[in-house]
Amino acid sequence: MMTKALNLLWLWGLTASGAGLPPAVRSAAERIRQAALSGSGAAGIVQSLCDHVGPRLAGSAGSRAAVAWALEQMRGLGLENVRAEKMREPRWERGVETAEIVAPAMQPLAVTALGGSPATSPEGLEADVVSTENVESLHALLARDPSAVRDRIVFYSEKMTRQSDGSGYGKTVNIRWAGPTEAARAGAAAVLIRTVGTSSNRLPHTGVMKTGPEIPLVPAAALSAPDADLLERLVREGKTIRVRLILTCRTLPDVAGSNVIGELSGSERPREIVLLGAHLDSWDLGTGALDDAAGVGVVLETARILSRLPKRPKRTLRVVLFANEENGGRGAAAYRDAHRPEMSEHVAALEMDLGADRVRAFSWLAGGTSEPALSEVAALLSPLEITAKKPEASGGADIGGLREFGVPLLDLSQDASRYFDFHHSADDTFDKIDPKQLDQAVAAAATVAYCIADMPERPAPIPEEKRKAQE
């Protein structure tokens, strides 16, 4: 009797101080998790976006069609305050892209232009190749011989490694982001990079390179892995390699675009917002099934599940489908600017943008007093074989910028083992979606979103000293 009373007192203490999740929230979360796992509508949403809209690069007709699609989907799901929030987005068109080795022996290379690349002249450019591993080794080369890359095609050979947490991408992506401009500064004629991905086919992966008013640019393209291997073998043999590259890509004036937003208003604290994000745009080569129709499917399906609950969660769930994540991040910037006055009302943000496979880890970045409650949310995910992971969450490209305002960030890290086989390539198509794994991701996102929206105390803001993003 005494123990029971003490237990009750202890439970009451947790609940009253906001330290834990009340039993009613826990049991509702368990039902939500179970229902999503036994079959969600997420794959159907992904299919609709891929098949009925297709590629949707910022500035393209596909981007505008995606906005119309998203508005219709949100209204169809019964979300409230559905709107397109206007912003300006860049417009870059791919055009023709071909390359060939002209010496020592003529042969075609499978290439794709990097986003933001300028064109070559219409007849193309032809130059000798100089090979280097990455930006650091380029600088080492230039330190020995400042004219080493002048008028040459710089080939960055660094290989991305396959990792379940996708960390190989972060280690290699600098050859794509900074590689072209660093070579341009040293007088290079053009840049080829080994494709930043883990595929072994001849479908190279595109992605954005650094551009801007003060940034020196040269035409830059990714080489498929087998073609990069070929160049490396020829380099090892000490052969003089000459390549011709034709790119007709171009940057046009910015055009109108939109972030698409819909909400489920909270039943008790409607001003407090739980942000659930994904990005609506994609690269142009595939149909962006994994990147990021899958994320769109997960967040829209999560909203649908929460909208069908007998009682609405206390706080507002806001679904944000960001524009232009891929080649500019203007959607994220526009959201921050437009919603600055209500930043303190954002109680947490979660973004889904690492493919369509199962979630393997949950992490967060919030004030220390939220540890007990968030640990309880993590425990609710363990039947999905999701572990609570340290270090802390970083939030993803579209919501990472909310960190400086102290908005607590949540990460559901998916298994990225096969993601970078397809990411940003012509092979990012709907057939790569595994509905069972996607349902597990929905179960995780819906469990987390519901708990945060309905827990007694909102998560504490990120402490001041942690608001600066790590480099």
AA letter at 155: F
Cα–Cα dist 320/351, whole Å: 9
The interface mask with Zn ion, positions 215-244, x = CB under 5 A, is: ------------------------------
**Which of 208, 444 has the CB closer to Zn ion?**
208
Cα–Cα dist 199/183, whole Å: 26
Least separation in angstroms between residue 286's CB and Zn ion is 12
Distances (CA, A) of 14 to 44, 216, 368, 370: 41, 57, 15, 11
User: What's the Rg (C-alpha) of the chain?
Assistant: 24
**Which of 43, 373 has the CB closer to Zn ion?**
43
**Which of 120, 206 has the CB closer to Zn ion?**
206
Q: Is 353 in the site for Zn ion (CB under 5 A)?
A: yes
From candidates 158, 182, 284, 292, binder to Zn ion by CB under 5 A: 292
Helix ranges (DSSP H) in 173-237: 174-177, 179-185, 225-236
Least separation in angstroms between residue 437's CB and Zn ion is 17
Least separation in angstroms between residue 298's CB and Zn ion is 13
Cα–Cα dist 310/28, whole Å: 10
Contact between 140 and 271 (Cβ < 8 Å): no
Sole window of 124-132, 283-291, 377-385, 449-457 interacting with Zn ion (rule: CB under 5 A)? 283-291
Least separation in angstroms between residue 333's CB and Zn ion is 16
Helix ranges (DSSP H) in 54-93: 61-76
**Which of 292, 357 has the CB closer to Zn ion?**
292
The interface mask with Zn ion, positions 313-352, x = CB under 5 A, is: ----------------------------------------
Contact between 66 and 211 (Cβ < 8 Å): no
Contact between 50 and 429 (Cβ < 8 Å): yes
Cα–Cα dist 436/421, whole Å: 20
The region, left, alpha or beta by phi > 0 then psi within -120 to 50, assigned to residue 201 is beta
* CA–centroid distance for 152 within its chain: 33
**Which of 284, 353 has the CB closer to Zn ion?**
353
Least separation in angstroms between residue 425's CB and Zn ion is 13
Least separation in angstroms between residue 413's CB and Zn ion is 14
The interface mask with Zn ion, positions 239-278, x = CB under 5 A, is: ----------------------------------------
Q: How many CA atoms lie within 13 A of 47 on its CB side?
A: 9
Distances (CA, A) of 187 to 148, 235, 246, 247: 9, 21, 19, 19
Q: What share of the chain is helix, strand, coil (3-state, %, to 5)?
A: 40, 25, 35
Q: φ, ψ for residue 153 (rounded to 5)?
A: -95, 115
From candidates 97, 158, 291, 439, binder to Zn ion by CB under 5 A: 291
Active site residue 325: yes
Beta-strand relationship, 387-388 and 359-365: parallel
Q: Token pair for residue 401?
A: 């910028």
Contact between 135 and 174 (Cβ < 8 Å): yes
**Which of 272, 292 has the CB closer to Zn ion?**
292
**Which of 291, 421 has the CB closer to Zn ion?**
291
Least separation in angstroms between residue 354's CB and Zn ion is 8
Instruction: Please count the other Cβ atoms lying within 10 Å of the Cβ belonging to residue 33.
Output: 23
Least separation in angstroms between residue 277's CB and Zn ion is 11
**Which of 224, 414 has the CB closer to Zn ion?**
414
Contact between 148 and 249 (Cβ < 8 Å): no
Helix ranges (DSSP H) in 186-282: 225-236
158, 182, 325, 326: the active-site residue: 325
From 366, 368, 458, select the one nearest 410 (Cα to Cα): 366
Least separation in angstroms between residue 283's CB and Zn ion is 9
Residues in a beta bridge with 162 = none
Number of residues that bind Zn ion (CB under 5 A): 3
The interface mask with Zn ion, positions 109-128, x = CB under 5 A, is: --------------------
Sole window of 170-178, 185-193, 206-214, 291-299 interacting with Zn ion (rule: CB under 5 A)? 291-299
**Which of 291, 301 has the CB closer to Zn ion?**
291
Q: How many CA atoms lie within 13 A of 180 on its CB side?
A: 27
Q: What residues act catalytically?
A: 325
Positions touching Zn ion (CB under 5 A) are 291-292, 353
